Structure 1
Amino acid sequence: MTYDHDALFIGGTWTKPATDATIEVISPHSEEVVARVPEGSVQDIDAAVAAARTAFDEGPWPRMSPAERIEIVQALSGLYAGRLGEMAEVITAEMGSTISFSNLAQAPAPWMQIEAFLAIAREFPWESRRAGALGSDVVVRHEPVGVVAAIAPWNVPQFTVLSKLIPALLAGCTIVVKPAPETPLDGNLLAEMLIEAGVPEGVVSIVAAGREVGEHLVTHPGVDKVAFTGSTTAGRRIGALCGERLKRVSLELGGKSAAIILDDADLTATLEGLKFTALMNSGQACVAQTRVLVPVGRHDEIAGALAETVAAMKVGDPSDLESEIGPMVARRQQERVESYIALGQEEGARLLTGGTGRPAGLDTGWYVRPTVFGGVDNRMRIAQEEIFGPVLSVIPYGSVEEAVRIANDSDYGLAGTVWTADQEAGLEVARRVRAGTYGVNTYTMDFAAPFGGSRRPGSGGSSVRRAWLSTRS
């Protein structure tokens, strides 16, 4: 299969790019070029925003009834469901997610979001009448905010694109999507489906580009709202730029979530669950629970068992169905993760498995040895900073109250879990941990529920209504 492309998806049509610049998509496994596609320029962004502006100000999309927009998005959902396997293969090829994870989450989760947002849209009170305080009735309308700029990261590219695109479309917005330059290929596949679904021209553009072009999109006067998922550093910059311009913005940023193992937890089941919740997508996930909090009296037992479990996980070719840990997305990410592993040793944490250096038997690829540290103090940088790789920190606690305090002692409050035989006790812990989404003996996101967090995870991500609609009476 060839993934090469020579055009950009601007205003709903395949368009010749303004420059000859290209993006080389490198396989994180083989380190070979798997595709060459156009790199979006400032001129391409200007064309995309102009198309979106015209489509919003003059076109049919925001003037359709919600039912008409729902019908087109439902058609997109059907097309997407028919191409899940293809989407999974594309994402594995471009960013190195194991094919098992791509088949489980990278492709199906975006489709599940479409269906969840459709269900919300069908019941949403787009317009309502209520009694006014001055004696006459008031009509409340929820209206689209306008042209949306959606900037997505490379780790779960379709999931983060569709979490912005689908609510925007259903609300009647037009949208310019900027995928990360590491992952432009899945966006091209999505574009094909948007055309086939009948989304009108001008409504959607998908332009992969780097940071400078992304900043131009954020500051473009034709954009009414910015939705960003990515690093805290980039989010802080985008938030500042939008604040200067009084522009609406939603930020979904980093995480450093904690898994609390209570003393009565079934250790076998807990370790099997942590293989996913702590190491999903090879650790390249904002919701990954990479801080593992354990009772001090059972620290050595649990940390040792966790290290054995992680050491037994198969690291290798992401296209192999048996691989559980794939490569990092890029060499810079591999180097970043290894620098944190070295830092953990310098800080005095006990290396229980893994460490720096290439995993055995892998001569190419941006791989990192899955690593578990024991005896970690929550003040250490490996416990406070987002590493975004397969590195776990086991932290002892003396009481449930201390476990909750440690879980909350972080700049991030995105996700978390508690593992216990007593579900009610688990729910009580969940209520006390400041995290946007929380699981008892598991971690999954229900796409009908809000998703967000507190502190550095960002702002504006917990409500579809707040993100995409304005209200007037």
Structure 2
Amino acid sequence: MIDYDSFYIGGDWRTPATATRIEVRSAATEELVGSVPEGAERDVDDAVAAARRAFDDPQGWARWDPARRAEVLERFAQALESRAAETARRVTVQNGMPITLSRNFEGGFPPVLLRYFAGMVSENPQEESRPGMLGGTSLVIREPIGVVAAIVPWNVPQAITFLKLAPALAAGCTVVLKPAPETVLDAFLTAEAAREAGLPEGVLNVVAGGRELGAYLVAHPGVDKVSFTGSTGAGRAIAETCGRLLRPVTLELGGKSAAIVLDDADLASTIESFFAATLLNNGQICWLGTRVLAPQARYQEVVDTISDLARSLAIGDPLAESTQVGPLVSARQRDRVEGYIAKGKAEGARITVGGGRPDGLDHGWFVQPTVFADVDNKYTIAQEEIFGPVLSVIPYTDEDQAVAIANDSDYGLGGSVWTRDGERGEAVARRVASGTIGINAYANDPTAPFGGIKASGIGRELGPEGLHGYQQLKTIYLDPPS
């Protein structure tokens, strides 16, 4: 059991406003594994007030030289590295992510992001002088935007947390972090690392709670910017609030990306990359290519290859080294995925593999990797985000139709093109309406912007663009000397 009795606010552990608690259960065993306090509005008030004091301090974090902030962020990265194994274990226990993936995504990626953004602000000037056309000079300055409300989901909790924390802290912002109720134990471990690293009091604050508490935080008058990753429905509600308040917001939302298999593709030679781009993390990643577009002339071959892949995957205890597919995060999520499988069957799609629960796993929220063939792009399973290990294979006749099908979606977050001809793949990728897309692989590299279009969100994370989202511009006009 891992139990916490306090919230991390103002650089210390504080007693919560109420005795209500969030209980955490193992995705694989359904057993209770820990608990933390459930926040109330007063806890958010305290956290925002601490962040505001830290940001407004004339000698505080926002006014430090970027190189000085970078030194603290390096200590933060080291503190996270010393806890990487435990972070990965906690995430895997909570949400079912296979441990081999947790080590990379959850244990390894956050320190990389801290160092990347710390280097960016310390090595690059944050202001520039521009000669004017009217006789004077303009000094253009990038300043930290202020107090940030960071609200993260349960599927990749630590990596997504640091998509927000790393650039925000590097820019000089202060943060109130609200993790998802399903994955809170790792967030409290992050708070321990922040304290060990010597982040000044109030620079990072962690309060746990559900949707209502998140809504209260989003609308709090002490918040200057909101960064949210989660469902499109929740994102729309947050956008409405921020629009009314004229509050900057970054939204990384849902996806229903297309994996376009061209007629010259050799899936067998890239099957590991294909798995990573379509079924990684038990299908619980927003950018996965869950719509597989296959050429009509090779349709059955592609269906068979993907079905064989799904059939071969090792399902089981996510803490086991050999496991490739673990359980879903909760009983509710499993019910949701099973509901979509039932809809797919009812609409006329054909299951080639999976469709049920794996044999021999009587505990845990497992669903078999499932492949649907004979799918029309208008089917529910091809249009709505399922967030589980379910793929829909859709036929097309030529490249133009493949691109049209890929773009016939409310979403535009990820995607991939599979081909032996890199130039041809790039040409197709350029035509797909999506914020990101890969050729024979998919990755979120720290140096390049990540985010979606349409119902997949607003704004970008990673790259210099990710840092700019936590900065605001000020121009000082310098009148020429007389």
**TM-score after normalising by structure 2:** 0.96
Q: Which residue of 1 aligns with 2:50?
A: 51
How does 1:11-50 map onto structure 2 within 5 Å? Answer: 11-50=10-49
1:120 touches 1:448 (CA, 8 Å); kept in 2?
A: no
Q: Which residue of 1 aligns with 2:473?
A: 471
- Say whether residues 1:459 and 2:458 are aligned partners: yes
Q: Which residue of 1 aligns with 2:379?
A: 380
- Say whether residues 1:314 and 2:314 are aligned partners: yes
CA distance in 2, matches of 1:45, 1:180: 15
2:469 is paired with a residue whose SS is helix
Q: How has the CA–CA distance of structure 1 residues 110 and 465 changed in structure 2, closer, same or farther, with 3 Å as cutoff?
A: closer
CA distance in 2, matches of 1:375, 1:106: 36
CA distance in 1, matches of 2:254, 2:41: 27
1:254 is paired with a residue whose SS is coil
2:42 is paired with a residue whose SS is helix
- Say whether residues 1:437 and 2:439 are aligned partners: no
CA offset at residue 267 of structure 1? 2.4
1:325 is paired with a residue whose SS is coil
CA offset at residue 146 of structure 1? 0.8
CA distance in 1, matches of 2:455, 2:227: 16
Gaps of 5+ in 1: none
CA offset at residue 101 of structure 1? 1.4
Question: Partner letter of residue 466 of structure 2?
Answer: V
1:148 is paired with a residue whose SS is strand
Q: Which residue of 1 aligns with 2:196?
A: 196
2:17 touches 2:40 (CA, 8 Å); kept in 1?
A: yes
Q: Which residue of 2 aligns with 1:143?
A: 143
1:39 touches 1:208 (CA, 8 Å); kept in 2?
A: yes
CA distances 1:112-154 after superposition (whole Å, capped 9, x unpaired) = 2223222322333311111022212211111111111000000
CA offset at residue 468 of structure 1? 0.4
CA distance in 2, matches of 1:420, 1:106: 31
Q: Which residue of 1 aligns with 2:326?
A: 326
CA distances 1:271-314 after superposition (whole Å, capped 9, x unpaired) = 33221110111000001111111110111111012111101111
| Percent identical | 51
1:145 touches 1:469 (CA, 8 Å); kept in 2?
A: yes
CA distance in 2, matches of 1:364, 1:90: 19
**TM-score after normalising by structure 1:** 0.97
2:77 touches 2:110 (CA, 8 Å); kept in 1?
A: no
Question: Partner letter of residue 113 of structure 1?
Answer: L
Question: Partner letter of residue 250 of structure 1?
Answer: T
CA distances 1:153-210 after superposition (whole Å, capped 9, x unpaired) = 0001011111111111111111100000111111111111111111100111011110
CA offset at residue 37 of structure 1? 1.2
CA distance in 2, matches of 1:116, 1:405: 37
CA offset at residue 458 of structure 1? 0.6
Is the deviation greater in 4-13 or in 265-274?
Answer: 265-274
Q: Which residue of 1 aligns with 2:339?
A: 339
2:191 touches 2:206 (CA, 8 Å); kept in 1?
A: yes
Q: Which residue of 1 aligns with 2:412?
A: 413
How does 1:224-239 map onto structure 2 within 5 Å? Answer: 224-239=224-239
CA distance in 2, matches of 1:400, 1:115: 41
Structure 1 runs of 4+ off > 4 angstroms? none
- Say whether residues 1:87 and 2:87 are aligned partners: yes
CA offset at residue 465 of structure 1? 4.1
How does 1:174-253 map onto structure 2 within 5 Å? Answer: 174-253=174-253
CA distance in 1, matches of 2:98, 2:156: 12
Question: Partner letter of residue 51 of structure 2?
Answer: A
CA offset at residue 409 of structure 1? 1.0
CA distance in 2, matches of 1:314, 1:445: 25
1:157 touches 1:183 (CA, 8 Å); kept in 2?
A: yes
Question: Partner letter of residue 414 of structure 1?
Answer: L
1:105 is paired with a residue whose SS is helix
2:70 touches 2:119 (CA, 8 Å); kept in 1?
A: no
- Say whether residues 1:365 and 2:367 are aligned partners: no
Question: Partner letter of residue 223 of structure 2?
Answer: V
Q: Which residue of 2 aligns with 1:402?
A: 401
CA distance in 2, matches of 1:309, 1:160: 28
Q: Which residue of 1 aligns with 2:104?
A: 104
CA distance in 1, matches of 2:196, 2:127: 30
CA offset at residue 104 of structure 1? 2.8
CA RMSD of aligned residues (A): 1.2
CA distance in 1, matches of 2:114, 2:346: 46
Is the deviation greater in 386-395 or in 305-314?
Answer: 305-314
CA distance in 1, matches of 2:124, 2:390: 42
CA distances 1:303-338 after superposition (whole Å, capped 9, x unpaired) = 012111101111111111111111110111000000
1:413 is paired with a residue whose SS is coil
Is the deviation greater in 405-414 or in 96-105?
Answer: 96-105
Is the deviation greater in 447-456 or in 462-471?
Answer: 462-471
1:142 is paired with a residue whose SS is strand
Q: Which residue of 1 aligns with 2:162?
A: 162
Q: Which residue of 1 aligns with 2:449?
A: 450
1:460 touches 1:466 (CA, 8 Å); kept in 2?
A: no
CA distance in 1, matches of 2:389, 2:300: 20
1:117 touches 1:448 (CA, 8 Å); kept in 2?
A: no
CA distance in 2, matches of 1:69, 1:105: 24
Question: Partner letter of residue 181 of structure 2?
Answer: P
- Say whether residues 1:290 and 2:316 are aligned partners: no
CA distances 1:328-373 after superposition (whole Å, capped 9, x unpaired) = 10111000000000000011111101113x2101001111111000
1:6 touches 1:38 (CA, 8 Å); kept in 2?
A: yes
CA distance in 1, matches of 2:126, 2:305: 53
CA offset at residue 400 of structure 1? 1.0
2:149 touches 2:225 (CA, 8 Å); kept in 1?
A: yes
Question: Partner letter of residue 276 of structure 1?
Answer: A
CA distance in 1, matches of 2:101, 2:352: 26
Gaps of 5+ in 2: 476-482
CA distances 1:438-472 after superposition (whole Å, capped 9, x unpaired) = 11111111111111121011102252244100001
Question: Partner letter of residue 409 of structure 1?
Answer: D
Question: Partner letter of residue 460 of structure 1?
Answer: G
